[in-house]
């Protein structure tokens, strides 16, 4: 009886929110590529085109490769994962303001508009993971039991992305300059993480280079992407925080940062959501 009552209360409380979320996700995803000739295919073509450019420039000309046959697939997977982060944050930070008229007319939890933006990007990411899988099969990637850990890694990447998006969506309501600041900062983050270059390219230099490279893995976004690469494609060549540090407390740093960022995003958004209509 107690369990049934609990389920009933949760259904009453969140059923309407779930219906609104599904409606917004479907609408956003359909409108995203409306009017374009290729439509939804752009969700795959964009990371593929970026992959081609980065592979030619960094893999061929600058020789930033780990020298393994799986490197192209690893690069594509990293770019696709980062594309999910940028698409979620770029669309999500504007979601409250863009949906201002809807929020004023219809009563539903404000956080749904942010979650719908990240879910729309997540659908594109899921499609890209399918493309990566096809490339991996053609590259004859040897899959291991670690593939079962992939959902955990993807959930972690989504959680840190959602937390970051909630923080910026809250700030954007008050400070529109945050969009321009993030546009510049995300480029710094992108080139500061081992996405287009293998981490071994830095660690092989030794000295303080190796120390800096290992510290990069304490970034929860970098750690999540490396874990996804490690468990999905190349466990033998992709270093992660779990095999680069012996101290258990240090290994927990990215997870702690992720949880704190998610908590901060939820806290700031809930605290300010009632004022959004007045400010906008």
pLDDT of residue 255: 92
**Does a structural domain hold residue 5?**
no
pLDDT tens digit string along 227-269? 999 999 888 878 888 888 888 888 899 999 999 999 999 999 9
When pLDDT is averaged across residues 3-27 and rounded to a whole number, the result is 63
User: Which one is predicted more confidently, 238 or 6?
Assistant: 238
Tell me how crowded residue 144 is: count the other CB atoms within 10 A of its CB: 15
pLDDT tens digit string along 68-124? 778 888 888 988 899 999 999 998 898 888 776 666 666 667 888 888 889 888 988
Tell me how crowded residue 155 is: count the other CB atoms within 10 A of its CB: 11
**Does a structural domain hold residue 109?**
yes
Domain hosting residue 147, numbered range: 17-279
- pLDDT tops 90 at residue 156: yes
**Does a structural domain hold residue 64?**
yes
Q: For the residues of 230-279, what is the DSSP string, one character each?
A: HHHT-TTT---HHHH---HHHHTHHHHHHHHHHHHHHHHHHHHGGGHHHH
**Does a structural domain hold residue 48?**
yes
**Does a structural domain hold residue 3?**
no
**Does a structural domain hold residue 12?**
no
pLDDT tens digit string along 67-79? 677 888 888 898 8
pLDDT band at 3 (very low <50, low <70, confident <90, very high): very low
pLDDT tens digit string along 164-181? 999 999 999 888 888 889
Angle at 49 between CA 48 and CA 55, to 5 degrees: 85
pTM: 0.86
**Does a structural domain hold residue 220?**
yes
**Does a structural domain hold residue 47?**
yes
- Burial class (CB within 10 angstroms; exposed 0-12, middle 13-18, buried 19+) of 233: buried
Q: How many domains does the chain have?
A: 1
């Amino acid at each position: 009886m107690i369990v049934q009552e609990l389920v009933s209360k949760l259904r009453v409380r969140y059923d309407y929110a779930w219906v609104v979320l599904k409606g917004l996700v479907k609408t956003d995803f359909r409108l995203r590529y409306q009017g374009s000739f290729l439509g939804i295919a752009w969700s795959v073509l964009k990371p593929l085109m970026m992959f081609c450019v980065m592979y030619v420039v960094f893999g061929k000309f600058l020789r930033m490769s780990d020298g393994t046959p799986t490197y192209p697939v690893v690069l594509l997977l990293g770019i696709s994962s980062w594309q999910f982060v940028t698409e979620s944050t770029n669309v999500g930070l504007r979601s409250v303001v863009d949906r201002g008229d809807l929020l004023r007319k219809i009563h539903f939890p404000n956080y749904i508009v942010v979650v719908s933006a990240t879910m729309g990007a997540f659908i594109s990411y899921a499609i890209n993971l399918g493309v990566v899988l096809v490339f991996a099969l053609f590259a004859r990637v040897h899959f291991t039991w670690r593939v079962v850990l992939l959902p955990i890694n993807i959930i972690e990447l989504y959680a840190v992305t959602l937390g970051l998006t909630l923080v910026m969506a809250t700030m954007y309501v008050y400070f529109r300059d945050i969009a321009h600041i993030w546009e510049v900062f995300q480029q710094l983050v992108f080139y500061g993480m081992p996405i287009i270059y293998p981490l071994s390219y830095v660690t092989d230099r030794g000295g303080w280079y190796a120390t800096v490279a290992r510290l990069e893995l304490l970034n929860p976004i970098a750690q999540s992407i490396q874990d996804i690469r490690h468990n999905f494609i190349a466990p033998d060549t992709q270093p992660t925080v779990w095999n680069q540090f012996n101290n258990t407390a240090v290994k927990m740093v990215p997870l702690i940062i992720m949880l704190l960022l998610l908590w901060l995003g939820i806290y700031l958004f809930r605290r300010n959501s009632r004022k959004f209509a007045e400010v906008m």
